[in-house]
Structure 1
Amino acid sequence: MTKMRGEMNGARQIPATVIHARITGTGSYLPGAPVSNDDLRARGIDTTDEWIVERTGIRARHLAAEGVTSSDLALEASRRALEAAGRLPDEVDLIVYATSTPDFIFPSSAAILQHKLGIKNGGAAFDVQAVCTGFAYGLAVAEKFIRSGSHKCALVVGAEVFSRILNWEDRGTCVLFGDGAGAVVLEASEQPGILASALHADGSYSDILSVPGQVSHGQVIGSPFLQMDGKAVFKFAVKVLSEAALEVLGAAGMETDDIDWLIPHQANIRILQATARKLEISEDKVIVSVDCHGNTSAASVPLALDQAVRGGKIKPGDILLLEGVGGGFTWGAVLLRF
């Protein structure tokens, strides 16, 4: 049993040994074959490869087949993360699942994923809804569970089937998004892994990026499709991504020069480049995967992370800055040693 120190007068006791949380495995999954910009045009969308690439940097995305749910994608990503960590599913005692496109209204996609993984230990499992910031929220929440001593091995997932909420007649939005999943195993450790995190939200900006529909009396009331003010989102995203980065660096007593890799939400190449310029970080240190899978919302950061790890870019000991910004508006950052 962990030794405790504290006063006997009812003051909260504090563990003598500090518990940290480290990422021990990563995984990702993209459904089906890549759908190129030319493929979209062939499907009748009024666009061109040049128009999309110039404005977004996106060349392809993956779209889930009919009947494939976000938890199906999450299952494959989670299996790969667990394999990389050398863990069995039943060793996971916490699942934090970030998504804006859950399988059902309820039960949670986290609980469904727990069942699909065959986990029978009764550990906690719940969804987080922070749209494109969801993975950063999920990682920060899971870290706090682990550092409290209540849990030892968490699965943090971002999974989306955004193709289900797109208006395919709106070329300004439908070309931007794709489906996919990413996951990490986060474990208790004696060595620091997560160094600092910052999470924020401001609901007054909710009208610039939203899906304003709701289910009432068995019917969808309002629009079930994503709508966005692209210019307003761009301006807001660059501002808050820069601020969140500086906030976590300050909390950890670090400078931008200490960052080995910046992994921002993969929304648009222009946002990634503008954020790097504002932080005075070389673009060579920015992980970019938006070109091959588009904006996968909560899945984009863990997808980019896993691809960079498996591609040999990210090495053990590297300092990573993960960031997200999404509808709500929400934004946040996590600084960690890999």
Structure 2
Amino acid sequence: MTEPLKTVGITGTAYALPAREVPTADLQRRVATASGLMLPPRMFEQATGIRRRRIAADDEYASDLAIDAATKVLAETGRDPLDIDLLLFASATRDMAEPATAHVVQAALGSRAHVMDVTNACNSFLNGIDLARSMILAGRATRALVVTGETPTRAMRPRLDGLAQARSAFAGYTFGDAGAAVLVEPVATGGIVDIDSETHSEHWAAGGIFGGGSRHPRGDEHTYFTGDGHRLRRIFEQIGAGLIERVARRTGYGWDDYAKVLVHQVTLPYLDRFVQVTGVPRDKLEVTVTELGNMASASLGVQLARVRPQLETGDRVLLIGLGGGVSLMTMIWEVS
């Protein structure tokens, strides 16, 4: 007799932030001084809406932020590390090229799970949750820990060699560091009820950190974020609304059916434009970008952990991911 299809949900959430807080005004001063440039006062803050962000210490790594969040979520749910049989480090950042950073996290936690890294720019964490759900439904896992640790501030250029470089590097000054973790396992009710995605890989060169692979294996030049922020914004506007409309048609859910709508946040103007284009009520959002910056794939994980205490059984949350490459992703989670 065939077993009934399991419902898989998120049963625990947590996030972690570095202790060091850096005002955007201080960041701008450091870059201007190192570059020998005269920049208009508060230019970085006014262009991005980001007042401050957290930056990892020199001896603090992506894995440390993931381990912090993972330890919290295990404590919250009362799970032992040995209860986990799948551990995914799902992040745009990693500690090293090899081995997978998931091994570093597992060694610290003391778990013995099947581990791997999942990487897809700022959609990595959502992709990790989706993969964990899929493996549980396929019978390959029973309880998964999905973690991210993001230190994208290390991809910010410390100095600029003129205006042309400033334009291509500016999106990097939105970054902030953070970690997040979720426990994913079968649930009796609710759970992850819908997932959709759309990928337009012809835009892969619009922005990214192009070093560390076979194209640019060594040297600092390609280890900094380079891209056209305005072009990326136009791309997401052109293709994003269609995905959200498709989800609404398929599920029948409108904005009133969600307790919260969590969207990847790059800058405050981007978020304002998202509200304008989609019509989502602003009180459904959890705004983190002004105080924490663009946390790459940890952005949605941090938002989810922050809103979780406000949610009740049956509440629905729509998560909307945007990632370089480019990819978009939606996930609807109903609280069990």
Shared fold by TM > 0.5?
yes
Does residue 296 of the first structure (1) align with residue 295 of the second (2)? yes
Q: Name the CA distance, whole Å, in 1 between partners of 2:194 and 2:41.
A: 39
Q: Name the CA distance, whole Å, in 2 between partners of 1:337 and 1:321.
A: 9
Q: Select between 152-161 and 210-219 the one with higher mean Cα deviation.
A: 210-219
CA drift at 1:200:
2.8
Structure 2 CA distance for partners of 1:159 and 1:238, relative to 1, 3 Å: farther
Q: In the TM superposition, what are the counterparts of 1:6-155 in structure 2 within 5 Å?
A: 15=3, 17-45=4-32, 50-120=42-112, 123-155=113-145
Q: Name the CA distance, whole Å, in 1 between partners of 2:86 and 2:178.
A: 21
Q: Counterpart of 2:327?
A: 330
Q: Is the 8 A contact 1:133 1:323 kept in 2?
A: no
Instruction: Give the counterpart letter for 2:59 in structure 1.
Output: G
1:156 aligned to which of 146, 156, 160: 146
CA drift at 1:158:
2.2
Q: In the TM superposition, what are the counterparts of 1:223-234 in structure 2 within 5 Å?
A: 223-234=222-233
Structure 2 CA distance for partners of 1:34 and 1:118, relative to 1, 3 Å: same
Instruction: Give the counterpart letter for 1:197 in structure 2.
Output: I
Instruction: Give the counterpart letter for 1:179 in structure 2.
Output: D
Q: Select between 40-49 and 140-149 the one with higher mean Cα deviation.
A: 40-49
Instruction: Give the counterpart letter for 1:191 in structure 2.
Output: T
Gaps of 5+ in 2: 33-37, 160-165
Structure 2 CA distance for partners of 1:35 and 1:222, relative to 1, 3 Å: closer
CA drift at 1:249:
3.5
CA drift at 1:114:
1.2
Q: Counterpart of 1:11?
A: none
Q: Name the CA distance, whole Å, in 1 between partners of 2:248 and 2:179.
A: 27
Structure 2 CA distance for partners of 1:315 and 1:271, relative to 1, 3 Å: farther
Instruction: Give the counterpart letter for 2:24 in structure 1.
Output: N
Gaps of 5+ in 1: 6-14
Aligned residues: 321
Instruction: Give the counterpart letter for 1:297 in structure 2.
Output: A
Q: Is the 8 A contact 1:162 1:178 kept in 2?
A: yes
Q: TM-score, normalised by structure 1?
A: 0.88
CA drift at 1:181:
0.6
SS of residue matched to 2:297:
helix
SS of residue matched to 1:194:
strand
Q: Is the 8 A contact 2:21 2:53 kept in 1?
A: yes
Q: Counterpart of 2:284?
A: 285
Instruction: Give the counterpart letter for 2:55 in structure 1.
Output: L
SS of residue matched to 2:222:
coil
Structure 2 CA distance for partners of 1:194 and 1:136, relative to 1, 3 Å: same
Q: Name the CA distance, whole Å, in 2 between partners of 1:88 and 1:253.
A: 39
SS of residue matched to 1:175:
helix
Q: Name the CA distance, whole Å, in 2 between partners of 1:61 and 1:192.
A: 34
CA RMSD, Structure 1 to Structure 2 (Å): 2.1
Q: Name the CA distance, whole Å, in 1 between partners of 2:9 and 2:245.
A: 21
* CA deviations over 1:257-316 (Å, ceiling 9, x no partner): 31221100021222222223322211111111111110110111101111222xx43333
Structure 2 CA distance for partners of 1:251 and 1:137, relative to 1, 3 Å: farther
Q: Name the CA distance, whole Å, in 1 between partners of 2:118 and 2:192.
A: 19
Q: Name the CA distance, whole Å, in 1 between partners of 2:186 and 2:305.
A: 20
Q: Is the 8 A contact 1:23 1:193 kept in 2?
A: yes
Instruction: Give the counterpart letter for 2:334 in structure 1.
Output: R
